[in-house]
Amino acid sequence: MYDIELYSQQLINEAVQMKATDLHFIPDDSQWLLTYRVSGQMEPWKKLNPRLAERLISHFKYRSGMDIGERRKPQSSSMMHVKQDATFALRLSTLPTKSNESLAIRILPYFSSQTLSSLSILHSNAKILQDVTSMTQGLCLISGPTGSGKTTTLYTIIEQIVRQGGKTIITIEDPVERIIPYVVQVEVNVKTGLTFNSLLSACLRHDPDVILIGEIRDEVSAALAIRASLTGHVVLATVHAQDCYTALLRMIDLGVSRFDLMQCCKLILSQRIVNTKCPLCQGSCHLICRRSRQMSRAAIFEILKGEQLKNCISSQTNITKGFLYEINKAWALGYIEEEEWKRVAYEVF
């Protein structure tokens, strides 16, 4: 067990050193493949024998509080990892395969150095993110595919609200990824009856000013989020959608009336992570710097608010400029390379 403890620590330390955001243990017939994600790209790393891989997975499950005897059902949890003077939050997820168990580990800085101005490539978008922290009531939706940085944006907004002071904040997460000081963070636990919907109903009676909802996932959570935003709370939530307009359609599909959306929805953000020009050599290294060997990354936001938002809701017609407009602007201003512009434009077109 002591050897496995040391080796598990070494794996995470090496991943942190490589600036990896994810680790994946992928089972095969005769061996396990360990891969990592850096700057959005998956890379093969190590090959592990089955015995070692199974012991590592059991050890990570034990340390994070999962049931190590349960291999037939998916599980998720989180834990902390300390590397010298830095602390990281690990989000773990298991998934049973035909004969073994796969493990994915998301690696996040426990204490974020992100600011609202550093999130976005375009300064105008950073100003709108700052405006979200001053909202007194209403719903703000953040959409985008998996890995687009939605959670980072939500946490950065919440941390800014904490710094400004004067508000009670409650988050409902599955799981809690990292602790934010002075914020009431509640974790979903279906086994003990702490379902997403029951927690959201309970937190409305807990006198919050701001409620963060990890994800609006069904009709009940959509209705509760709308009710909370209509009764004087600020509600920040994510919804799985490709852009701002489809986020609206998603809410309507979940049974929210257009009238209620017009009353409570103040802002919709949709985002993508892009590789920006290297700050050390201004792009001459073709994205991956020969000196830092890392990509500089930031978000591009599509933003829907004000009269344009109301017109989209009332007409159910997409009248937004869309992501392509924002990507073209970032490229024209010289923030991203032409290769990156082509990649992102092809993805959202």
Measured in degrees and rounded to the nearest 5, phi and psi for residue 134 equal -105, 5
Q: What is the pLDDT of residue 16?
A: 92
Q: What is the mean pLDDT of residues 209-222?
A: 90
Show the tokens assigned to 260. 């209620």
135 versus 78: the higher-pLDDT residue is 135
Look at residue 294 in the predicted model and tell me its pLDDT.
Answer: 47
Pick the more confident residue, 189 or 260: 260
**159 within a domain of the structure (yes/no):** yes
Residue 286 is predicted with a pLDDT of 41
Classify residue 6: in a domain, yes or no: no
H or E segment to which residue 343 belongs = helix 338-348
For residues 105 and 121, state if they share a domain: no
Say if CB 139 and CB 225 are below 8 A apart.
yes
Calculate the alpha carbon distances from 290 to 4, 37, 127, 222, 230 in Å.
35, 19, 33, 47, 52
Number of domains in the chain: 2
- What mean pLDDT is predicted for residues 127-156? 90
A 10 A CB-CB count for 286 gives: 11
- State the pLDDT at residue 2: 54
Same domain, 49 and 120: no
| pLDDT tens column, 23-78 | 999 998 788 999 998 877 889 999 999 999 999 999 999 999 899 989 889 988 88
Q: Average per-residue pLDDT in the chain? A: 87
Identify the domain containing residue 94 by its residue range: 13-109
Contact at 8 Å (CB) between 215 and 320?
A: no
Residue 69 lies in a domain: yes
Both tokens of 60, joined, read: 């990570």
- Confidence bin at 339 (pLDDT 50/70/90): confident
Single out the residue in 87, 109, 131 at which a domain terminates: 109
Are 94 and 102 a contacting pair, CB within 8 Å? Answer: yes
Q: Based on the domain organization, do 136 and 96 belong to the same domain?
A: no
- The predicted pLDDT at position 157 comes to 94
Q: Indicate the pairing of strand 22-27 with strand 101-109.
A: antiparallel
343 and 207 housed in the same domain:
yes
Structural domain ending residue among the three candidates 79, 109, 139? 109
- pLDDT(89) > 60: yes
Residue 258 and residue 221 share a domain = yes
SS3 89: strand
Confidence tier at 83 by pLDDT (50, 70, 90): confident
Q: Which of 143-147, 241-245, 288-292 has the lowest mean pLDDT?
A: 288-292
**Residues 245 and 334 occupy one common structural domain:** yes
SS3 262: helix
Q: In angstroms, rounded to a whole number, what is the distance separating the alpha carbons of residues 101 and 89?
A: 22
Whether 27 and 156 share a structural domain:
no
Query: What pLDDT does residue 270 have?
Result: 93
Task: Specify the residue for token string 């998301």.
Answer: 106
User: In this model, does residue 290 exceed pLDDT 60?
Assistant: no
Cα 80 to chain center, whole Å?
A: 18
Please report the pLDDT score of residue 291 as a whole number.
41
Do both 60 and 203 map to the same domain? no
Residues 104 and 152 in one domain: no
Chosen domain end from 109, 124, 140: 109
Alpha-carbon span 340 to 286, nearest angstrom: 10
Range 203-219 average pLDDT: 90
Assess whether 126 and 101 both reside in one domain: no
Q: pLDDT (tens digit, 9 = 90+) per residue, 219-241?
A: 988 998 999 999 889 999 999 88
pLDDT value at residue 278: 55
Structure tokens at 33: 């493949």
Residues 66 and 150 in one domain: no
Nearest one of 337, 305, 276 to 122, comparing CA atoms: 276
The pLDDT value given to residue 28? 84
**pLDDT, mean of residues 89-94:** 91
Beta-strand pair 138-143/265-276: parallel
* Residue 108 banded pLDDT, cuts 50, 70, 90: confident
pLDDT band with cut points at 50, 70 and 90 for residue 164:
very high
Pair (29, 136) in one structural domain:
no
Confidence of residue 14 (pLDDT cuts 50, 70, 90): very high
Q: Would you say residue 321 lies in a domain?
A: yes
CA-wise closest residue to 167 among 226, 263, 235: 235
Q: Give dist(CA 173, CA 215) in Å, integer.
A: 8
pLDDT category at 147 given cuts 50, 70, 90 is: confident
Judge whether residue 162 has pLDDT over 90.
yes
- The CATH number given to whatever domain includes residue 54 is 3.30.450.90
Q: What average pLDDT does the segment 10-24 reach? A: 92
Q: How far apart are CA 94 and CA 72, in angstroms?
A: 10
- Asked if pLDDT for residue 150 goes beyond 70, the answer is yes
Closest CA to 178 of 268, 106, 104, 245: 106
Q: What is the pLDDT of residue 112?
A: 63
Q: CATH number of the domain that 173 lies in?
A: 3.40.50.300
Amino acid letter, residue 190: V
